[in-house]
């Protein structure tokens, strides 16, 4: 049985606790960003998410480390795998591992399936 649904792997840089002083710079650099606030007690922590292509991940992390160092609480590198299938494993590309280690980003991998 074949399916026309193709697996989609997305890469995102998540910046948590971005200081107000860096917010404008961040928005000017990354024109297509989204964000939100973590649930929980007040004050809620604001986060920003930048979608990246595999080739852009390292440059995005480098810009954050060089231009706004110390103006955020944490940086995460997220990999989202959207699939209809069950995955036993996922090979994280070496450039992702290297960038996460080099820039101190926490690596998160999420497997997501649409409701059927």
pLDDT at 50: 95
pLDDT at 1: 42
Sign of the four-CA dihedral 17, 22, 23, 29: negative
The 3-state DSSP composition of the chain as helix, strand, coil percent (nearest 5) reads 30, 30, 40
CA distance 114 to 116: 6
pLDDT at 10: 92
Q: Per-residue pLDDT for the chain (116 aa), expressed as one digit of tens each?
A: 445 566 788 999 999 999 988 989 999 999 888 988 887 776 778 899 999 999 999 999 999 999 999 999 999 999 988 877 766 677 889 999 999 999 999 999 887 766 55
CA distance 37 to 15: 11
Residues 6 or more apart from 44 whose CB is under 8 A from it?
Answer: 37, 38
pLDDT at 3: 53
Angle between helices 57-67 and 94-103 (to 10 degrees): 10
Measured in whole angstroms, the distance separating CA 103 from the mean position of its chain's CA atoms is 13
């Amino acid at each position: 049985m074949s399916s026309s649904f193709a697996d989609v792997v997305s890469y995102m840089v998540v910046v948590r606790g971005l200081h107000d002083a860096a917010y404008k710079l961040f928005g000017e650099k990354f024109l297509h960003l989204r964000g939100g606030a973590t649930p929980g007690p007040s004050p809620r922590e604001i986060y920003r998410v930048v979608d990246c292509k595999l080739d852009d991940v390292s440059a995005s992390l480098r810009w954050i480390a060089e231009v706004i160092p110390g103006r955020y609480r944490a940086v995460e590198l997220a990999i989202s795998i959207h699939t209809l299938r069950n995955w036993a494993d996922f090979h994280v590309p070496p450039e992702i591992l290297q960038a996460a280690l080099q820039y101190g980003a926490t690596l998160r991998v999420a497997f997501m399936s649409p409701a059927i």
